[in-house]
Amino acid sequence: MPTASKLPVATPPSVNGRRRSDFPADANLCDHCTAKCCKYFALPIDEPVTRKDFDFMRWYLLHDRATVFVDEDTWYLLVHTTCKHLQDDHRCGIYETRPQICREYTTKECEFEDDWCYEKYFETPEQIDEYADALFGPQFPEGADRDIDSIRSRRPTGLPVVG
């Protein structure tokens, strides 16, 4: 059973583009942050090894705000969604009773700065489909989306190959 993770994730630039080094060592970075760590959750998932695994992943990515990334060889489902208890002033509305995972997260390696990157990052079903196609070949024969009465969406248009 995977456990939830708070990880530094790729986020929009920090407030005014400021970096840790812009603050004194004893400064509380949270006082200068828009609470980036309260605007997502990430779960480790099994590494996909079969075409079916990648099709599950494509299903994840068909959902709004869902992404998949790989960090240090571990695959994660990342959902960009804001905690219901985050207040307008970027402070926790249930600070005294916040979950343990929130208590254990520190500013030491958090995403205050914006230069995190991943080994792999998938934002769209087309991206994961193209990645899987490169490994296994096309999942659907040409024209399959016209001929079958399927509950699935049409085969996505391939992305341009970067190279």
- What does the binding site for ligand SF4 look like in residue numbers (CB under 6 A)? 29-30, 33, 35-38, 83, 85-86, 92, 94, 98-99, 102, 105, 107, 110-112
Q: How far is the CB of 34 from ligand SF4 (least distance, A)?
A: 7
25 or 134: CB nearest ligand SF4: 25
What string of DSSP letters covers 25-77?
TT--GGGGS--GGGS-EEEEEPPP-SHHHHHHHHHHHTSTTEEEEEETTEEEE
**Least distance between ligand SF4 and beta carbon 60 (Å):** 21
Nearer to ligand SF4, 80 or 85 (CB): 85
> Cβ contacts of residue 2 below 8 Å, gap of 6+?
43, 44, 45
CB of 101 to ligand SF4, least distance (A): 7
Q: How far apart are CA 162 and CA 139, in angstroms?
A: 21
- 100 or 157, CB closer to ligand SF4? 100
Q: Which is nearer to ligand SF4, 112 or 122 (CB)?
A: 112
